[in-house]
Structure 1
Amino acid sequence: MSLQAPPRAIVLAAGRGERMRPLTDTCPKPLLVVQGRPLIEWHLDALAAAGVREVVVNTDWLEDQFPAVLGDGSRFGLNIRYSMEGRDHGGALETAGGIAKALPWLAPQHDTAPFWVVSGDVFLPGFDFSTAALDEMAAHPERLAELWMVPNAPHHPRGDYGIGPDGLALAHAPQRYTWASVGLFRAAMFSDIVPGTRMPLRPRLDAAIGARRLGARLWHGAWTDVGTPERLAALNQG
Structure 2
Amino acid sequence: MKAMILAAGKGERMRPLTLHTPKPLVPVAGQPLIEYHLRALAAAGFTDVVINHAWLGQQIEDHLGDGSRFSLRIRYSPEGEPLETGGGIFKALPMLGNEPFALINGDVWTDYDLARLRAPLPGLAHLVLVDNPGHHGRGDFRLSAGRVIDGNDAPGTLTFSGLSVLHPALFEGCQAGAFKLAPLLRRAMTEAKVTGEHYRGHWVDVGTLERLAEAERLISERA
TM-score, with structure 2 as normaliser? 0.93
> For 2:194, which of 194, 214, 232 is the aligned residue?
214
1:50 aligns with 2:50: no
Name the SS of the counterpart of 2:57 in structure 1. coil
1:235 and 2:215 correspond:
yes
Aligned residue pairs total 216
CA contact (8 A) 1:13 1:58 kept: yes
The 2-side partners of 1:219 and 1:58 are apart by: 26
Match of 1:134 among 112, 118, 128: 118
After TM superposition, give the deviation of residue 12 of structure 1 in Å: 0.1
Whole-Å Cα distance in 2 between the matches of residues 106 and 133 of structure 1?
15
Matched, 1:194 2:175: yes
By percentage of residues, which structure has more strand? 2
1:4 matched residue in structure 2? none
Matched AA of 1:205: L
**Residue 235 of structure 1: how far off its partner (Å):** 2.7
Q: What per-residue deviation string (whole Å, max 9, x for no partner) do you get for residues 57-81 of structure 1?
A: 0000001100111111000011111
Moved over 6 A (4+): none
CA distance in 1 between counterparts of 2:202 and 2:129 reads 12
Aligned counterpart, 2:30: 36
Q: Contact 1:11–1:56 (CA<8 Å) still a contact in 2?
A: yes
Pick one of 156, 180, 186 that aligns with 2:161: 180
Q: Secondary structure of 1:152's match?
A: coil
TM-score using structure 1 length = 0.87
Instruction: For residues 82-113 of structure 1, give each alpha carbon's deviation from its aligned partner in whole angstroms, at most 9, with x where no partner exists.
Output: 10002xxxx01111111111111111xxx2x2
Q: Is the 8 A contact 1:145 1:184 kept in 2?
A: yes
SS in 2 for 1:218: strand
CA contact (8 A) 2:132 2:139 kept: yes
The percent of aligned pairs where both chains have the same amino acid is 45
Runs of 5+ in structure 2 lacking a partner? none
2:95 maps to which of 89, 102, 105:
105
Aligned ranges for residues 83-162 of structure 1 at < 5 Å?
83-86=77-80, 91-107=81-97, 111=98, 113-125=99-111, 127-130=112-115, 133-137=117-121, 140=122, 143-162=123-142
Amino acid at match of 2:19: D
**Structure 2 residue corresponding to 1:223, chosen from 199, 203, 210:** 203
Q: 2: CA distance between counterparts of 1:217 and 1:104?
A: 28
Query: Contact 1:114–1:134 at 8 Å: present in 2 too?
Result: no
Cα displacement string for residues 186-208 of structure 1 (whole angstroms, at most 9, x for unaligned residues): 0001243233x111111111111
